[in-house]
Structure 1
Amino acid sequence: MVGINDYTGSEELANWRITNDSVMGGKSQGEIILAQDRVLFTGEISLENNGGFTSTFHPVTSLEPGIDTISIDVQGDGHIYQLRLVTIVDGYRLSYKQDFATSLNERQQITFKLSDFQAYFRGRNIDNAPELTSENIVEVGFLLNFTKLIIHPKKNHKPKTFSLSIFKISFD
C-alpha cells in the first residue's frame, strides 16, 4: 500500500497545489490548511465572472504496476466532490475522475477501482483515452464545482463555503 497521510511540516503544505477558477476569470477561492491529522481543503465557490470551481492536487511518486484501487478517508460537508487522478499523455495533462458524495460532518472511507474512473480533459469526456494504470498516475486531487453543490445554482448565486478534510489517500 502506498499512501499520502503525513500532514506535518511546511514541506507538506508546499506539496499541495490549488487551481481556482481565476484561471478563467472566476472568483472562487480554495485553500489547503494543515491540521494535526489531516489536510483541510476549504474555501468559497462563486459563480461570479462565470466561475464555479476550485481544486487541489498532490504529486504521486512512482506507483508500482498492477495497483488497481485507491481509497480515501475524508470528512465532508454534504457536497459532491470529484476525486481526480492525473496522468501525462503525449505531453498533455489528462484527468480521470470519479464523483463521490459526502455527508455533513461524517467521516467516510471510500474505495474506488481505477477501472471505474472516466477520462476528462478541460471538462470534456475523452472516450478514446488510454486505460488508467497505476504506474502512469502523477497526481491525485479533489475538485469541487458549483453544479455539484447541494444547493440549486440557478436559484442562489451567492458564494458558498465548502470544507473537505482529507485524512488519508492510499493505493492498493
Structure 2
Amino acid sequence: MVSAMRLFQVLSSFVAGITLMRPVNGETMTLFDFKTLKNVDNWMEISDTVRTVGKSKATLVLQKTQVFQRAVLFTLLNPQPNGAGFAGVRTPTNLNLSSFKHIAITCRGQGENEHYKVVLRHNDLETNEDISYEQFFTAPMSSEKFSTISMSLENFKAYFRGREVEDATPLNTSNVTMFGLQVYGGVYLPIKQKGVSALEIETIVATS
C-alpha cells in the first residue's frame, strides 16, 4: 500500500511538472557523480549580487564522511519585496544530450525552500545578457532518504531575467555548454520563497 507521504510527494511533483522516477532500463550518461568527484572547484556562484540590489548567497561543497560523499548546495535567499532574487551555482560543460530525453537528479532538500530550477545554456552563451533555458522542480524534503526526479529536456523553456521568452529558439541539446542549479524568490511566480536551505545531491544523469 502506498503511504500518504509517498502519495503526497508524487502528486506534488506531478503538479510541478516533474515525476518521481523509478529506475528504468535504457541508455544513461552520468553528468555529475558527486559521490566520487574529488572537488567542485569548477562550480561558481551565480546569485543576485550580480546586480546592485542583490543580497543572496550560494555555495556548493562536498560533504565527505567515512561512509559516504555527496554535494550540498547551501543557499541564503534574500529576495526583494516583490520576490526578485536568486541564489545558485553553475559550471561550464561540453555536453551532447541529443540522444537523451531526460535529466535525472538524485537529491533531497532541507530547510525553508523546496522549489529549485535547473538552468542550462547552449552554444557557449554565458553572460547575464544571454537567455537561459530553465525548468523548475520540487526537491523531495527529507533528512532520511534520497529520491530521483526526472525532467524532460523538451520542457526546458527560454528565460531572460525571470521572464519567459516565448519566441526564442529551442534548447540546442547537442551543445549544452553550461549547467546550473538555483533557488529562486519567485518574482513572476505565485510561489514566493526566502530563507536558508540545503539541497543534497548524489548524482545528475541524462537518461533516454
Q: Which residue is equivalent to 2:133? A: 96
Larger Cα Rg: Structure 1 or Structure 2? 2
Q: Which residue is equivalent to 2:87? A: 54
Paired with 2:125 and 2:50, the residues of 1 have a C-alpha distance of 23
Identity %: 24
Does the aligned pair in 2 maintain the 1:5–1:169 contact within 8 Å? yes
Structure 2 runs not aligned, ≥5 long: 1-27
Report the aligned-residue RMSD.
2.8
Paired with 2:97 and 2:146, the residues of 1 have a C-alpha distance of 28
- What's the TM-score, normalizing by structure 2? 0.68
Q: Which residue is equivalent to 2:146? A: 107
Q: Which residue is equivalent to 2:37? A: 8
Q: Aligned AA for 1:138? A: T
- What's the TM-score, normalizing by structure 1? 0.81
Does the aligned pair in 1 maintain the 2:126–2:178 contact within 8 Å? no
Q: Which moved more, 1:127-136 or 1:19-28?
A: 127-136
Deviation digits for residues 22-74 of structure 1 (CA, Å, limit 9, x no counterpart): 11121111111111322111031113698621111123223253222111111
Paired with 1:110 and 1:103, the residues of 2 have a C-alpha distance of 9
Quick check: which one's helix share is greater? 1
Aligned runs of 1:1-172 on 2, under 5 Å?
1-3=28-30, 4-6=32-34, 7-9=36-38, 12-25=39-52, 26-36=54-64, 37-47=69-79, 52-77=85-110, 78-88=113-123, 93-105=130-142, 106-147=145-186, 160-172=195-207
Aligned residue pairs: how many? 164
Q: Which moved more, 1:99-108 or 1:118-127?
A: 99-108
